[in-house]
Amino acid sequence: MQDKLFSLPVVTQISPYLTQRQIGELPAIVVSHPKVRAAITLQGAHLIAWQPSGEKPVLWLSDKSLFAPGKAIRGGVPICWPWFGPAGEPAHGFARVQPWKLTAHDENEDGVMLTLVLESNPQTLKLWPHEFTLIARFRLGQHCEIELEAYGDFEATAALHSYFTVSDINGVEVSGLGNSYIDKVNNGEVASSDGKQRYPGRIDRIFTAAEDCSVINDTAGERQIEVYHHHHSDVVTWNPGVELSCSMTDMANEGYKTMVCVETARISKPLRSAGEKPARLATTFRLKKKAAASDNVNG
């Protein structure tokens, strides 16, 4: 799926490294730069691919995902806003299924920077009675930085719902998650942890005292993915496990084996925007080769 994104016909050449293409029924901005390949759909300002030069794809994207107006994309980095989970309809908020506008772009020898904007409109006001301006900034190169900035007068919950590609979920451990979590699989029970998470089955946990960096140790893939959390109150980790994966129409039956979600979030402490003071949520992804990171793992 990832390779197909970069061989789609070009609709518009925006700049030397940026093109607009069509993925299914959705327009997307595709980045082809000496340092990085990436793609963002205008629906949802949804980053669906990020791949530094010389590396395998970092973000997981379902082969069965629908690319249709109003339908959520399974994989990449959905922007969940202004609510997380089933707090309203649609689930995880409307930002990920609304059309955004590309308002600015820049590029240099290290990568590209994109700014996309979503503003309140009659459709969003029916779902959520607040006027707002939501800005998503992407800095894409050897590292990936995503910043969400919300203007208006309101409270909102949110998450940068990042799906990462792993070789085999049975060999994955995520560290830096803190010692307390809400177990959504077990009726919201509050439980304690050693800060590390493995995935023997379905896992859906909100860690409420996570460190500022989570590390995905992909043993079989021989690499680590560092996920830095900025302006967050929580970190969510999720894998659907075999039964839920088989029941999802936009995920292959064995899709759960090659993905893990580690999400920067504001759930237990909502974002607060007021006047000219915006609320922010941001994340940074960095790759580390396993061999170079072994001292950190064992230390």
**H/E segment holding residue 128:** none
Question: Tokens 């929580």 belong to which residue?
Answer: 234
| Rounded-to-integer distance, Cα 221 and Cα 264, Å | 23
Q: Quickly tell me which residue has 């759909």 as its tokens.
A: 41
Query: Which residues, including other chains, have CB under 8 Å from residue 277's CB and lie 6 or more apart?
Result: none
Q: Is 263 a catalytic residue?
A: yes
CA separation for the pair 268, 67 (Å, rounded): 31
Quick check: is 109 catalytic? no
Instruction: Give me the sign of the Cα torsion angle 167, 4, 73, 56.
Output: positive
Biggest CA-to-CA distance, the chain: 54
DSSP-derived secondary structure letter, 142: S
Q: Which of 145, 147, 149, 263 is catalytic?
A: 263
Q: Strand, helix or coil at 170?
A: helix
User: By the 8 A CB rule, do 34 and 28 touch?
Assistant: no
Tell me which of 33, 161, 229, 232 is the catalytic residue. 161
Annotated catalytic residues are 161, 263
